[in-house]
Amino acid sequence: MRGVREQEGKREIWESYLWEEKGSEKQREPEGDWAVWLLMAGRGFGKTRAGAEWVRERISRGESGRVALVAPTPDDVRNVMVEGVSGLLRVSPPWSMPKYEPSKRKLTWPNGAIALGFSSYEPDRLRGPQFDTAWCDELASWKHPRETWDNLQFGLRLGESPRCAVTTTPKPIGLLRELKEREDVMVTTGSTYENRDNLATEYIEHIRRRYEGTRTGRQEIYAELLDESEDSLWRRDWIEVSRVREAPELARVVVAVDPAVSSRSASSETGIVVAGADEDGHAYVLADASGQMSPDGWARRAIAMLDRYGADRVIGESNNGGDLVEHTIRTAYDDRVVPYKSVRASRGKYARAEPVSALYEQGKVHHVGGLDALEDQMCTWSPGSEGSADRLDALVWAVTELLLNRRGLWLWV
């Protein structure tokens, strides 16, 4: 009897790892002849589990011996793809558990297959290694998506049928749009609600109340790949073609602040954008530190950006809440004199933004790395748009100060 119970226990353990029975149809590898499986799904859909199970199954079938694991950051490789609640260590059965060496970003399975971790912060690390399998997680949030992807593709050359799985919540970046249209890419989409049985009821109700019917909800819940607004002043290809990995030596750097004031929505953000200009009349957007913060919080963050980037001064709109920005910045620290300049809006938001948009079209403004939230706002905001555009406002103030301020020494048109 004891032997029977032991056999039944072993069978239950074995059956618990049968992903082809546990996972939904959309979470399992699609049939057909494809090079890339693009799984675009909402938050909480189970994308990470699907990617980890796909890697495990390819290794167990002997179809993969060298795997590339690519995430936005090194921490994401370890905390999500490997050690996460749906990562490779959690989905692997005891009889096929890989040995994990965090310092080497390496996993080794009992059959000799290995997986190496990479991040979009270090695209050059993908030069040289070669693979037969790649799992790319949250590609839409990669810092250097194009360069990381291209280096990976050159190395994906082992075996008879090298394959790549991309698991991501979509964002309207050029690379994702291109993948979606390729003939050798199999696209699977799914919403957060499709995995409601495995999510907390309170979570489902919260996102329904907060985001249902909004643009954010369409992207983060229903995984829609949103496009640009037809009335927007910016185009994503302008930003993409001028994007750089590093800024050159800069003649001047400013931190622009556009605060969320009480008259706005409770969800409004304070825009904090850091930008600099070189001697040749080009501007470089270095950072977007915007977010929902208290006045003391955004003042301290702006000053932290001033110090981090060696900026010359903080700038803020004087007729947006009176002297709110200047007063809050100057009183954030009792023992600190912060270089500050007030700017005043003499025209409406759209009119102020137009000349800055023209500089982008001329290729005179460059984003250093990825600035997804800022770029989303730039390419979707138009007159009459719902919600605030604080990130965009801060950007306009920064570039105007650096390149269009006719009263200063920094005029290049």
Could you give all domains of the chain from N- to C-terminal order, each with its CATH number? 2-220 (3.40.50.300), 236-403 (3.30.420.320)
Q: What is the DSSP letter of 134?
A: E
Return the percentage of the chain with pLDDT > 70, whole number. Answer: 86
Q: What is the DSSP letter of 241?
A: H
Which residue do the tokens 């999510």 mark? 199
Task: Return the C-alpha torsion angle 305, 309, 346, 261, nearest 10.
Answer: -10
So what's the pLDDT on residue 336? 82
So what's the pLDDT on residue 262? 47
Q: Where are the alpha helices (DSSP H) in 233-344?
A: 236-241, 295-308, 324-330
Closest CA to 145 of 250, 236, 211, 260: 236
Structure token pair of residue 125? 């690390």
Per-residue b/e over 34-49, b at no fewer than 16 CB within 10 Å? bebbbbbbbbbbbbbb
Closest CA to 287 of 317, 262, 320, 250: 250
Q: How far apart are CA 362 and CA 14, in angstroms?
A: 61
Q: How many CB atoms lie within 10 A of CB 322?
A: 10
Angle ∠(330,274,266) on CA atoms, nearest 5: 70
Which helix (H) or strand (E) segment is 165 a member of? strand 163-168
Q: Where are the alpha helices (DSSP H) in 342-389?
A: 349-361, 372-380
Is this model's pTM higher than 0.85 or not? no
- Where residue 13 falls among pLDDT bands split at 50, 70, 90? low
So what's the pLDDT on residue 356? 93
pLDDT in tens, 127-148: 989 999 999 999 988 988 889 9
Q: Is the CA virtual torsion 13, 14, 17, 22 positive or negative?
A: negative
Amino acid at site 239: I
Structure token pair of residue 316? 């803020």
Q: Is 155 helix (H, G, I), strand (E, B) or coil?
A: helix
Q: How far apart are CA 143 and CA 139, in angstroms?
A: 9
Polymer length in residues for the chain: 413
> Is 80 exceeded by the pLDDT of residue 314?
yes
> Is 80 exceeded by the pLDDT of residue 379?
yes
> Is 50 exceeded by the pLDDT of residue 156?
yes
Per-residue b/e over 78-103, b at no fewer than 16 CB within 10 Å? bebbbebebbbeebbeeeeebebeee
Q: How far apart are CA 123 and CA 70, in angstroms?
A: 10
Structure token pair of residue 371? 């600035």
So what's the pLDDT on residue 10? 47
Q: What is the DSSP letter of 344?
A: -
Mean pLDDT of the chain: 86
Angle ∠(256,258,261) on CA atoms, nearest 5: 155
For residues 312 and 212, the model is more confident at 312
DSSP E strand stretches across 204-263? 252-258
Cα separations (Å) of 313 from 2, 109, 281, 378?
76, 54, 19, 24
Do residues 303 and 296 make contact, with C-beta atoms less than 8 angstroms apart?
A: no
Closest CA to 251 of 404, 413, 410: 410
Structure token pair of residue 291? 């977010």
Which helix (H) or strand (E) segment is 211 a member of? helix 201-211
Q: How far apart are CA 333 and CA 118, in angstroms?
A: 40
> Is 90 exceeded by the pLDDT of residue 260?
no
So what's the pLDDT on residue 318? 72
> Is 60 exceeded by the pLDDT of residue 182?
yes
pLDDT in tens, 62-111: 999 999 999 999 999 999 999 999 999 999 999 999 999 999 999 999 99
So what's the pLDDT on residue 22? 73
Do residues 177 and 27 make contact, with C-beta atoms less than 8 angstroms apart?
A: no
Return the percentage of the chain with pLDDT > 90, whole number. Answer: 57
